[in-house]
Chains A and B, each alone.
Chain A
């Protein structure tokens, strides 16, 4: 059963997710970053559903466990699609939206196939194992894609500060999750510690996006090469 600290993090995270959508609405960025905001809104709805099942059925009930992992996979797919919309923003001048959409779907199908390949020999709970595996693999694929997107931003000299901050914060988020999942596989005996850390990491993305929508004007510009760790 979650303790007061877990509930506090959970509530903070949900409030931050609501703040992202509210900030985007107030600053007129909801349409421009529609999939990002849709992900945040979906996350709030999922939190509500999880809380309802947690209080009515209990933390260890199969309903809660199923809802948790299945909704997590669904949210990861949403976030993956949100990332592909950032690709469309960066490559908008090249008129490459159609290719981005096609590439996104191919990669998603490839990740699903790979995940199935990993779990297909399991005799029990095949679908549940698949869902968990897909979710973990998508975090790593998301990290690689964000890294490629950051390289494209540097190469194409993209200057929109809002977009750059959204991509960088997404990179931090995916790296935190991918590293956490890797550590969980490396040290299964202390996996509960890494699960608790995931909750805290989860607050980073809404925090960073709310800040970006609220504080960074849409027309703000920045020189991306100045942000690179290795000077260009």
Chain B
């Protein structure tokens, strides 16, 4: 009985902390303006939609990985899956949740686009270094 109560409390706290943690990762990138080039490639002009996420992630995987980005991208990927799950289950019953999950999914896509921008400039730097050498 006691273990059951602890489990329920821990699972609820885990969900809250995980969502807030992912939002804190996203918040850092939401202020960054995308370059015209990345806007063209991703099709994101000003506000990203949740449907952009998969496409941006595919583009992201084409670029050489930056070790410092990997953890954030993985955490946001997990957060996006959680949001998609909520959207296809709970949000069908609670309409206000649909708008919330959609806005959060869009922010995840924007985060991925910012990561893409960083990877592109990282690749360019690497190429420039090789050319110099």
Contact = CB atoms under 8 A, between A and B. Distances in A.
Interface of A: 140, 143, 146-147, 150, 161, 164-165, 168-169, 171-172, 174-176, 178-179, 181-183, 185-186, 207-208, 211, 214-216, 220, 222-223, 226-229
- The binding surface of chain B is classed by DSSP as helix
A161 B29 CA distance: 13
B24 A227 contact: yes
14 contacts: A140-B6, A140-B10, A168-B21, A168-B24, A172-B14, A175-B11, A175-B17, A178-B13, A215-B28, A215-B68, A216-B28, A222-B28, A226-B27, A227-B27
Given A179-B10, A182-B10, A215-B68, A161 B3 contact: no
A175 B10 contact: yes
B18 interface: yes
Interface residues of B, number: 24
A185 B5 CA distance: 12
Contacts of A216: 28
Contact of A211 (B4, B27, B72): B72
B130 interface: no
Interface of B: 3-4, 6-7, 9-11, 13-21, 23-25, 27-28, 68, 71-72
B13 A143 contact: yes
- The binding surface of chain A is classed by DSSP as helix
B73 to A, nearest CB: 11
B91 to A, nearest CB: 15
Closest 8 CB pairs of A and B: A171-B17, A175-B14, A182-B7, A179-B10, A185-B3, A178-B10, A168-B21, A182-B6
A168 B72 contact: no
Contact of B21 (A165, A214, A215): A165
Contacts of B18: 172
A161 B24 contact: yes
A174 B68 CA distance: 24
